[in-house]
Amino acid sequence: MKILIARMNHETNTFSPVATPLAAFGRNGPSYGEDAFNENEGMQTAMAAFIDAAAREHAAIVTPISASANPSGPVQASAYDAISDAIVAAATGCDAVMLDLHGAMVAENSNDGEGDLLERVRAALPNAPIAVALDLHGNVTQKMIDNADVIVSFKTYPHVDMYETGAHAARLIFDLIHGKAKPVIAWRQPPLLAHTLRSATAEGAMKRAVEAARAAEADGMLAVSVLSGFSLADIASPCISVVVVANGERAQAEAVAERIARQIWREREDFVYRSEPLAESVAQAAALAQGADKPVLLLDHGDNCMSGGTCDTMDLLEEALRQKLEGVVSGPLCDPQAVAALMAAGVGSKVTVTIGNKVTSRAVTPKPPVAVTGVVRALTDGEYVISGPTYTGQRAFMGRAAVLDTGTVKLVMTERTHEPWDLGVFESVGIDPRRARFLLLKSRMYCRPVFVPIAAALVECDSRGVTSSDYGLFRFKHMKRPVFPLDTQTEWALTN
């Protein structure tokens, strides 16, 4: 067998002003051919699982591209075409296809990045089985359903089962190839915008939905996925989905999808997150720090790069300073201009720079940068290795990084937006985050497996950035209405 294996990952926030050129996919663009293979082999990606499964089958493996970028604005048309063209061009002569996709890509020339790609792959290989691994936050579309034989998504958020998801999808596609299974797919999509902070799989309605999916798999379904969707995409239906793969029994697949979708719709209020005013959140953090011997985490989920944030919104830091919090470590703040100024000044220099609020969006009211004075404590290349549990062993690139110490706050500034996956974000620039009194992290969820164990408490803070949980900040033009919770009287009649 000759098997095509590729990776195309991007979660698109159509309100984000952060550009997504081809260079954003990887350190300086995607990896191709042998480099794409080597980048994933032994890692915890779905593509790595595909490679391992194909190797066990003694298949010839074709890896045209591995392209993964942090969430940001719409993918530039030339970048989307380059990635898609590389995958489609490699399809000739292949007997099967396994794709590691996100599921929520929007490009300048495609509102359905994954669906349009799958349609092209299917046209190139009309008789080859196609398996797809998706992120839990994928926005499922009809084109995706129509052009894949197997779809499996992550069941964890924070995501720690990327490899397992790929292994699951690969197992099913090889069962199809060897005549052991006949996958059929059913799909339901209630008109429900699930807040990302209500898609954590360890609690609430999302936990119960995933438990129902696992129970259905234990009861005979080949795969059951609950995808919360990514609602900051102004497309027709960035809504929650249930995707069921059954073994030849479409009626069974439809029944399971319907049952779990009904459960989700009944509990729709539990998928809605309502933020407290920022001042109240900071005051709560100050109270929690009294007598604590560990840092209090303040998570700035309104400016979270893993949902397309600019990482330069200053709302939370300004409020922390207004309330006179001390012992603060904050970051990573993306400000290439400030980093360049600190690099030019050198370690030990006392400087005044303006930081943040430099990347503006039509979705939020722009504010001026903030002037700060401090001593440059560290300058680095901004690279470190992630210790896990997410993307364990992968090298992280923040761009050049600098630390400015104002006496009250130690600011970690970087040239690139970056999720605090790991203590290495701070340790790589000489800061021990355990010694902070307050940790202001531009994060929503991925920091939690690493930072919650070293913290006394956690407070969620909603700054007015482009990843805010306040849907009222955003002007949706293309979304089908009515949709809950934008339209509170939304009704949904499930199909058979």
Q: How many domains does the chain have?
A: 2
Per-chain mean pLDDT for the chain: 95
Whether residue 473 is contained in a domain is answered as no
Distance, CA of 439 to CA of 455 (rounded, Å): 9
Q: Is the pLDDT of residue 401 over 80?
A: yes
Whether residue 480 is contained in a domain is answered as no
How does 66-87 read in b/e, with b if 16+ C-beta sit within 10 Å?
bbbbbbbbbbbeebbbbbbebb
Distance, CA of 299 to CA of 286 (rounded, Å): 14
Whether residue 481 is contained in a domain is answered as no
The CATH number of whichever domain residue 239 belongs to comes to: 3.40.50.2300
297 and 319 in a single domain? The answer is yes
221 and 313 in a single domain? The answer is no
265 and 351 in a single domain? The answer is no
Among 271, 301, 318, the domain-final residue is 271
194 and 289 in a single domain? The answer is no
110 and 167 in a single domain? The answer is yes
163 and 24 in a single domain? The answer is yes
Whether residue 248 is contained in a domain is answered as yes
214 and 119 in a single domain? The answer is yes
Distance, CA of 492 to CA of 482 (rounded, Å): 10
Q: Is the pLDDT of residue 428 over 60?
A: yes
pLDDT per position as a tens digit, 107-165: 999 999 999 999 999 999 999 999 999 999 999 999 999 999 999 999 999 898 999 99
Distance, CA of 62 to CA of 269 (rounded, Å): 45
- Global pTM value: 0.92
94 and 113 in a single domain? The answer is yes
Where residue 394 falls among pLDDT bands split at 50, 70, 90? confident
Where residue 492 falls among pLDDT bands split at 50, 70, 90? confident
256 and 297 in a single domain? The answer is no
∠ CA 185-190-193, nearest 5°, is 120
Hey, what amino acid is at 315?
A: D
Domain that holds residue 409: 278-468
For residue 496, the model assigns a pLDDT of: 37
For residue 494, the model assigns a pLDDT of: 62
Whether residue 482 is contained in a domain is answered as no
Where residue 361 falls among pLDDT bands split at 50, 70, 90? confident
Q: How many percent of the chain have pLDDT more than 90?
A: 91
Whether residue 257 is contained in a domain is answered as yes
Tokens 């922390």 sit on residue: 320
Hey, what amino acid is at 132?
A: V
260 and 290 in a single domain? The answer is no
Distance, CA of 427 to CA of 433 (rounded, Å): 7
